[in-house]
Amino acid sequence: MNMRPLNQELHERAVEVRVFSLVAVLILRAWIILRAEAWRLLFIPRLSSLRKMGGIDPMDSYERLRGAARQLRADAQTIDGDDLL
């Protein structure tokens, strides 16, 4: 059984989730450092604005990551673990 495509899927989803998380944390830190709550007239920062950043839906990406990990685990139990590498 060829596990490479599933490994790639898991890796791609993990990178997507990680990059999104890092960017979101940087934005949140910038809001805190720049005291964004004081900008009421110019801009009101909202967490919901981070929901879809750069066309990535973090909840959907995380769910696909979990699905790929579940599938890889299920497949790994049916074959020799050396085939995964």
Domain-wise residue ranges, the chain: 4-62
Task: Tell me the angle at which helices 4-33 and 58-76 cross, rounded to the nearest 10 degrees.
Answer: 150
Closest CA to 23 of 63, 56, 72: 56
What string of pLDDT tens digits covers the 85 residues of the chain?
A: 445 687 888 888 899 899 999 998 998 888 888 887 777 766 777 777 778 777 778 888 889 889 888 888 877 666 665 555 5
pTM of the model: 0.68
Which residues does 64 contact at the CB level (< 8 Å), separation at least 6? 13
Q: Which amino acid is at 61?
A: S
Q: Are 17 and 58 in contact (CB under 8 A)?
A: yes
Give the C-alpha separation, 71 to 69, whole Å.
5
